[in-house]
Amino acid sequence: MVDTVRTLIQSPRTRPTLLFTLALVLYLAPFAVGTEYRLFIATQMAAYVLVAIGLNLLNGYGGQVSLGHGALVAIGAYAVALAMVDHQWSFWPAALLAMVAAAAVGAVMALPAFRLSTWYFALITLGFAEVVGGLLTEWRELTHGFAGVVGIPKPAVFGHTLTSLDLYWFALTLNGLALAGMANLLRSRFGRALVAVRDNPVAATAAGVSLVRIKMMAFVASAAMAGLAGALFAVQKTVVTPDDFTADFSIFFLLMVVLGGAGRLWGPVVGAVVFFLVPELLTALQSWRMLIYGVALLLLMLYAPHGLVGAIEAGWKRLRTRLGLSNIPPAPSLAAVRAKVEPVAGAALSVRDVEKRFGGVAALAGVSLEVAAGTTHAIVGPNGSGKTTLLNMISGFYPVDGGAILIDGHSVVGMAPHRIARRGVGRTFQTPRMLPELSVLDNALLGAFPAERQGAAAVALRLPRVRREQQASLGDAMRYLDFVGLADRAMEPAGELPHGQQRLAEIARALVGRPRLLLLDEPAAGLSLAELDRLGELVAAIGALGTTVVIVEHHLELVANICRGVTVLERGAVLASGTPTEVFSHEEVIAAYMGSQARVTQAAS
């Protein structure tokens, strides 16, 4: 019996079969248990699910809180209502108008998000929703004011007016398409970038993701879905008034998303079902219903903090473990991957008289260094000497207060960090910046973000050229994971890796972007002796490919073995510069940095 269950769970045919059965049941259910009322509720629920799916993209995956999506639904509903009633449009172009109008307003609503932190922005969206509500009544020549728009006709296809059953099927189909498109989007570079924006924006930027563009994309996508839902809402209800869209309405969608499971694909569906069914089940206790409901909500969130889908997933994982099944999916086969890692044309780095001040403190006071293309260079110095600051300035995370930084002769001063990343500068951080919930492979794939070129629409539709591109990136990612020695742990959640291996995974991510200049910030910190050796070999191998490597380090043996040049910083200024041999026998360096008793063993010169 257990064996049968185990086989069923592991079979690749199970999931599609289940989905197909679910679809069948949903489409055919009206013939068995359909009443006008149930069809109506189901269609309304489907419209709300559409909004929730879009909001889940924005909030669950992207971490942006919007309390104004009700207003976007209102815009979609009014667009359809006014177009169909006042201008006799057919439903289909009106629905398109609804999506475009809502998307446009969503884009405007998103603009403050780039300046404001999350909770300030949430307030703005709430205010926005109230303003839209106010304007709906104010612009009465356009919107019919308080009276609202009445008599919205049902959609018609080739002369056939849709019945409630047809409308239900239409809504169901929309939901199916939305879920499928969303799944494709989330499994692509956009999904990863969005999660990075939420969990580790710095890592996203270092991988070349423009935070502004991704957030805007998420906004516009979710707004368009809200607009479409509004269109459905309008034709189902046949009357839209400003009172339909209160502030509670907006908050309600966020509740649906978080309760169902923010950041889980099926979260919106589960959330909507719960929101619609639970009050129905409680009708017996009319006035106490909302009270009970609030209490239930409270209890649910206390015991299911990742929402219902999160709770179900956790339970599912436990079940699998009990059955002796692993929770780690199988990694893609290495055999499909190209055999060789290709060489890179390294970039030359030139730093001239760079200065950095924090308040009154001069962190860097005129630092210069030159790194020839394809060489490995180290920056060493005591803590607080400005090493990481320098790295941050080269990669664009800190603005430059004076001096010049040139990569391959082009100045990068004043360039946004993600643009610098796209020019072929990869980096790692002192503390590995991973996306803990995603797999190691997904983390590595984040590095492929700039390389992939297919747009969001193509990705959502999973066109063949998208699939080819994704296969190529997958191959790259696996190859580099193999290169750093993590291929066998590719599918584990990155957060569960030990520190040293997270380091390696971060390096792999940087490599996937095929950097011409790689900046490593104290990669050896916290590594064991064996890991140190491995790291040295790895950096040497990277250098051998042709990549210019700049490494900030404390482990001088490592530096001496692999670097052609070394720059010693002390208190924001260059103390010495040259080959390892020269620098480490420099008296001042020995005294200042290593203390009078330390000695450096040198490898064969």
Partner 1 sequence: MSDSKRPPFGLRSDGSIDRRDFLRAAGRLGVGAFGLSSLGLAGTARAEEPFNIGWVRPTTGRLASSFSYLYIGGLIAIEEINAAGGIMGRPIARVEEDDEASPAKEPAIVKKLQGAGINFIAGPTGSSQALSSLATTTPAKIIQATYANGAEMGDGKKYPYHYQCTFNTNQQGEIAARYLVEKMKLKKIGILQENTAFGEQATAASRATLKKLGLEPVKVEVYPLNAPDLNTYVGNLRKAGIDGMIAWIANVPNAAMAFNAMNAQKWFPPITGHNGLFLDALFDLVPPEALTNVYGTMYRSLMWTDSTSPGPKQVAFAKKVAAYPEAKGSGVPVANSPYYDFLHVLKMAIEGEKSFEPEKVKRALDNIKGYQGLLGTINFTPENHTAIGIDDIALASVASGKDPKSMGVFREMAK
Partner 2 sequence: MDLDLLVGALTAGSLYALVAMGFNILYRPTNVFNFAQGDLVMLGAMVGATAITMLGLPWLVGAALAMLAVAVLALVEERIAVAPVLKQSATGHGWVITTLAVSMILANLVGLAWGPDPIAVKPPAPLSTETFELFSANVSSYQIAIVVITLMLVLGVEAFYGTRSGKAVLAVAEDRDAALLRGINPNRLSSWSFFLGGGVAALTGVLAAPILYASTGLGPSLLLKGFAAAAVGGIGNNRGALLAGYIIGIAEAVAATLLSPGYQLAATFAVMLVILLIRPHGLFGRAEARAV
Positions in the binding site for partner 2 (CB under 8 A) = 59, 65, 112, 115-117, 119-120, 122-124, 126-128, 130-131, 134-135, 137-139, 202, 247, 251, 254-255, 258-259, 262, 287, 290-291, 293-295, 297-298, 301-302, 305-306, 392, 397-398, 429
Q: Closer to partner 1 at the Cβ: 149 or 197?
A: 149
Among 454, 449, 468, CA closest to 194 = 449
Contacts of 451 (CB under 8 A, 6+ apart): 473, 476, 513, 514
Question: Does the footprint of partner 1 cover residue 289 (CB under 8 A)?
Answer: yes
Count other Cβ atoms within 10 Å, centred on residue 500: 20
Min separation Cβ 284 and partner 1, Å: 6
Q: Closer to partner 1 at the Cβ: 77 or 545?
A: 77
Is the CA virtual torsion 263, 268, 274, 275 positive or negative?
positive
Min separation Cβ 287 and partner 1, Å: 5
Give the distance from CA 105 to its chain's centroid.
23
Instruction: In whole angstroms, give the CA distance from residue 427 to residue 429.
Output: 7
Near partner 1 by CB under 8 A: residue from 2, 281, 284, 530: 284
Q: Closer to partner 2 at the Cβ: 112 or 366?
A: 112
> Amino acid identity, residue 104?
A
State residue 225 phi and psi, 5-degree precision: -65, -40
How long is the chain?
A: 605
Near partner 1 by CB under 8 A: residue from 40, 104, 362, 491: 40
Q: Where would I find the beta strands (DSSP E) of 361-505?
A: 361-371, 376-380, 402-407, 410-411, 425-427
Min separation Cβ 379 and partner 2, Å: 16
CA-CA distances (angstroms) from residue 351 to 29, 263, 545?
69, 42, 23
Q: Closer to partner 1 at the Cβ: 283 or 601?
A: 283
Min separation Cβ 500 and partner 1, Å: 56
Considering CB under 8 A, how many residues would be counted as binding partner 1?
A: 32
Q: Closer to partner 2 at the Cβ: 48 or 91?
A: 48
Task: Choose the contact partner of 295 out of partner 1, partner 2, none; CB within 5 to 8 A by kind.
Answer: partner 2
Contacts of 323 (CB under 8 A, 6+ apart): 2, 5, 6, 9
335-360 burial: b if 16+ Cβ within 10 Å, else e: eebeeebeebebbbbbbeebbbeeee
Min separation Cβ 179 and partner 1, Å: 24
Q: What is the DSSP letter of 400?
A: -
Task: Choose the contact partner of 238 out of partner 2, partner 1, none; CB within 5 to 8 A by kind.
Answer: partner 1
Question: Does the footprint of partner 1 cover residue 145 (CB under 8 A)?
Answer: yes
Question: Does the footprint of partner 1 cover residue 237 (CB under 8 A)?
Answer: yes
Min separation Cβ 228 and partner 1, Å: 17
Angle value at C-alpha 53, between 47 and 58, nearest 5 degrees: 135
Q: Closer to partner 2 at the Cβ: 262 or 481?
A: 262
Task: Choose the contact partner of 120 out of partner 1, partner 2, none; CB within 5 to 8 A by kind.
Answer: partner 2
Beta strand 361-371 with 239-240 is unpaired
Instruction: In whole angstroms, give the CA distance from residue 485 to residue 62.
Output: 31
Q: Closer to partner 1 at the Cβ: 47 or 568?
A: 47
Task: Choose the contact partner of 44 out of partner 2, partner 1, none; CB within 5 to 8 A by kind.
Answer: partner 1
Near partner 1 by CB under 8 A: residue from 64, 143, 200, 236: 236
Count other Cβ atoms within 10 Å, centred on residue 316: 13
What is the pattern of x (binds partner 1, CB under 8 A) and - over residues 105-134?
-----------------------------x
Q: Closer to partner 1 at the Cβ: 246 or 430?
A: 246
Helix (H) or strand (E) holding 519: strand 517-521
Min separation Cβ 536 and partner 2, Å: 26
Coil, helix or strand for 383?
A: coil
Q: Closer to partner 1 at the Cβ: 63 or 242?
A: 242
Candidates 13-21, 31-39, 303-311, 572-580: pick the segment binding partner 1 (CB under 8 A): 31-39
Min separation Cβ 301 and partner 2, Å: 5
- For partner 1, the binding residues in 241-280 under the rule CB under 8 A are 241-244, 246, 249
Q: Closer to partner 1 at the Cβ: 177 or 290?
A: 290
Q: Closer to partner 1 at the Cβ: 23 or 295?
A: 295
Question: Does the footprint of partner 1 cover residue 36 (CB under 8 A)?
Answer: yes
Task: Choose the contact partner of 249 out of partner 1, partner 2, none; CB within 5 to 8 A by kind.
Answer: partner 1
Q: Closer to partner 2 at the Cβ: 177 or 291?
A: 291
- Tell me the three-class secondary structure of 547-591, residue by residue: CEEEEECCCHHHHHHHCCEEEEEECCEEEEEECHHHHHCCHHHHH
Count other Cβ atoms within 10 Å, centred on residue 280: 9
Q: Are 417 and 211 in contact (CB under 8 A)?
A: no
Question: Does the footprint of partner 1 cover residue 238 (CB under 8 A)?
Answer: yes
- For partner 1, the binding residues in 42-81 under the rule CB under 8 A are 44
CA-CA distances (angstroms) from residue 327 to 257, 318, 589?
25, 9, 52
Q: What is the DSSP letter of 431?
A: S
Burial label for 29, CB within 10 Å (0-12, 13-18, 19+), is: middle
Task: Choose the contact partner of 202 out of partner 2, partner 1, none; CB within 5 to 8 A by kind.
Answer: partner 2
Question: Does the footprint of partner 1 cover residue 33 (CB under 8 A)?
Answer: yes
Tokens representing residue 383 in the block: 């803590």
Task: Choose the contact partner of 241 out of partner 1, partner 2, none; CB within 5 to 8 A by kind.
Answer: partner 1
Question: Does the footprint of partner 1 cover residue 137 (CB under 8 A)?
Answer: yes
Tokens representing residue 420 in the block: 């610098």
Contact residues toward partner 1 (CB under 8 A) are: 33, 35-38, 40-41, 44, 134, 137, 145-148, 150-151, 236-239, 241-244, 246, 249, 283-284, 286-287, 289-290
